[in-house]
Amino acid sequence: MFVCWSSQSPGSIPRHTGTAGANPATGILIASVASAPYTSSLAQALSTDVLERFQRYARIDTQSRRDREQSPSTPGQLELGRTLVEELSQLGLDDSRLDENGYVFATLGPQHPESTAQTAIGLIAHLDTSPDAPGAGVEPLVHSEYDGGVLELPRDGTVLDPDAMPELRAKQGHDLVTASGDTLLGADDKAGVAAIMAAIAHMSANPDMPRPPLRVAFTPDEEIGEGATLFDIERFGVRCAYTIDGSELGELQDETFSADEVILTIGGVDIHPGQATGKLVNALRLAAKVVAALPSETLAPETTAGREGFIHPYQLTGTPARARIAAIVRDFDDERLASHVELLKHTAQRALATEPRANLDIQVRRQYRNMRNQLAAVPEVTAAAEAAIRAEGIEPIRTPIRGGTDGSRLSEMGLPTPNIFTGAHEFHSVREWASLQDMAASAATIVRLAEVWSRTDK
């Protein structure tokens, strides 16, 4: 198996040497027998820039932190934000700015003076990476011309096994990017950031290309469900937007989970264990009993798929005096979501019923709702993305997202925002990987999307 442990600049990767100046109009592909082809000459022309940007952004630790006290929750997100503002300014987007809450905004202005905010389209990706796996010290590796076998990463014995990831096997011949085995890659969502930046760079350098005014937003703290919280939709001033935060090539999503978070706090009675006979009420033990009583054969993320919802306890902390269970609850249907929340409450109450000296506090926090309802009212928004994906030579894949995006809440807040693929996979884990061919296709799709909207009735 040929593996190129390249973490250097994209110019060092044989596959892409010399493609930087490729003319998209000629459609000439650089000959490479073993490599998977790009979806278009445009995608190939964008690929070097996409990879170079992606590697640069991935190295900045932008992991967000739950229970934030300010926006953004971590300073690394500001660092990436400042980098992007600088790069956008260099591309000629004069109004680029990082706002006081860590949001990056910029405009690739109207080609025609008569253009108004009613015609502008938004492009959105998130700056932060998931708190669920280590996010510091990311060292991206490029595996040129993946041979379809097991990929062994250099640290922690991390392995990408195509038997466990059918999407990986399908990428034989692609140039894959992974982390080094002990961190996230952060392709969720730096693949989206890189795709938007490369597309904007391309359109900025080709001012004659037909497109509407484009507004760019990079949001902080999406992974902790706060990406839309302080998003100034009014000021963004677009008729609709797209998050670039999906996965497999061709994915287009206008349906997400509806989501609540439930925090259970159990109060016990603590005492020196030597004097505890008949007196100690161990909150930690009771919390474990609650978790054990939750359904696991059904209604768990590991035992459900497709349109099934779940209850997912993700954190258990405490002492004998006080224990806390944090859980997320998900479903595509709002009524079923409510019934899962009730089930979680009743399970906790039943588990504690035999111990009257313990007390239980339950807080339910609304996170986001399925974007389907809002998007159904403006079918042209999803249709434009579908046309763009087809224009890039890809058959759109329409699957509901088992998760949320900034678009879930933005749609609810009045900004219709479906989600487009990035070409990255295995999000939130040390096995996260991305196909360069597919990331470049994502960037090319954004350029096509602008073309599609330039033809759409104002």
Q: Which residues are catalytic?
A: 128, 222
CB atoms within 10 A of CB 340: 20
Strands in 179-232 per DSSP E: 214-219
Q: Which is nearer to Zn ion, 189 or 432 (CB)?
A: 189
Q: Give the chain's radius of gyration (CA, Å).
A: 24
Alpha helices in 282-333 (DSSP H): 283-293
State the minimum distance, in angstroms, from the CB of residue 454 to Zn ion: 28
Angle, helices 75-90 vs 187-205, to 10°: value is 10
- Within 343-382, the residues that bind Zn ion by CB under 5 A are none
Q: Which is nearer to Zn ion, 91 or 125 (CB)?
A: 125
Enclosing H/E stretch for 369:
none
State the minimum distance, in angstroms, from the CB of residue 364 to Zn ion: 24
Go through the chain and tell me how many residues it has. 458
- DSSP category for residue 224: T
Q: What pairing do the DSSP bridges indicate for beta strands 258-267 and 359-368?
A: antiparallel
- Within 208-247, the residues that bind Zn ion by CB under 5 A are 245
Please work out the total of residues on this chain that contact Zn ion, with binding judged by CB under 5 A.
Answer: 3
State the minimum distance, in angstroms, from the CB of residue 245 to Zn ion: 4
- Within 164-193, the residues that bind Zn ion by CB under 5 A are 188-189
Q: Report d(CA 276, CA 241) in Å as an integer.
A: 60
State the minimum distance, in angstroms, from the CB of residue 233 to Zn ion: 19
Q: Which is nearer to Zn ion, 261 or 451 (CB)?
A: 261
CB atoms within 10 A of CB 448: 23
Q: Report d(CA 421, CA 112) in Å as an integer.
A: 30
State the minimum distance, in angstroms, from the CB of residue 64 to Zn ion: 11
Q: Which is nearer to Zn ion, 98 or 224 (CB)?
A: 224
Give CA separation, 234 vs 8, 196, 219, in Å: 41, 21, 15
State the minimum distance, in angstroms, from the CB of residue 432 to Zn ion: 11
User: 44 is written with which tokens?
Assistant: 């190939």
Q: Which is nearer to Zn ion, 320 or 418 (CB)?
A: 418
Q: Report d(CA 146, CA 350) in Å as an integer.
A: 52
Is 417 within 8 Å of 240 (Cβ atoms)?
A: yes
What three-state secondary structure class fits 197?
Answer: helix
Is 430 within 8 Å of 181 (Cβ atoms)?
A: yes
Q: Which is nearer to Zn ion, 54 or 146 (CB)?
A: 54
- Where along the sequence are the contacts to Zn ion (CB under 5 A)? 188-189, 245
